[in-house]
Amino acid sequence: MPTFTHLNEKNEVHMVDVTPKPDVAREATASGRIYLRPETLKAIAEGTVVKGNVLATAQVAGTMAVKQTWAIIPMCHPIPVGAVTVAFDQTAEYIEATCRVKTFGKTGIEMEALTGVSVALLTVWDMVKSAEKDEAGQYPMTRIEGIHVVEKIKAAA
């Protein structure tokens, strides 16, 4: 059975002590997709969504989320974020968001990348939800899928 580092010898949840670890360059990339109606994707591409520029807003939201990850995930350490990139690729079926985060510190930054991509995709949903609803007020086509860590890099100490 794997060792869970967020449990102490009494099986109590605690924040892992990273103070003895050396500072090293770290980078993580996460991605995920939001599936939308073709008409909604077209409106995003053409910049005609009534709430404004969907992807620019989602880019800012994802960046802000990265910087607040420690405040919303209980055992995450506050990490000095050196760089954040939130980018989007759009197809006829979905928008894929990718979030890359860099730091120089004692612990990894993949939770920040995952948080950034998640909030970016949620922001897209929020910006277009009125166009995605059906007659019953449901979202039959709208879904967020596949949020995952694409890459995690740790430089040698």
Question: 120, 97 in Cβ contact below 8 A?
Answer: yes
Cβ count within 10 A of residue 9: 6
Q: What is the DSSP letter of 37?
A: -
Selecting among 17, 23, 89, 126, the annotated active-site residue is: 126
Residue 146 and residue 11: Cα distance in Å, rounded? 31
> Which three-class secondary structure state does DSSP give residue 83?
strand
Q: Is 1 one of the annotated binding-site residues?
A: no
CA 78 to the chain's CA centroid: 16
CA geometry: angle at 75 spanning 73 and 76, to 5°? 65
126 catalytic residue (yes or no): yes
Q: Is 64 one of the annotated binding-site residues?
A: no
Q: Is 77 one of the annotated binding-site residues?
A: yes
Q: Is 99 one of the annotated binding-site residues?
A: no
Q: Which residues are annotated as a binding site?
A: 75-77, 111-112
- Catalytic residues, by residue number, are 126
Q: Which residues are annotated as a binding site for substrate?
A: 75-77, 111-112
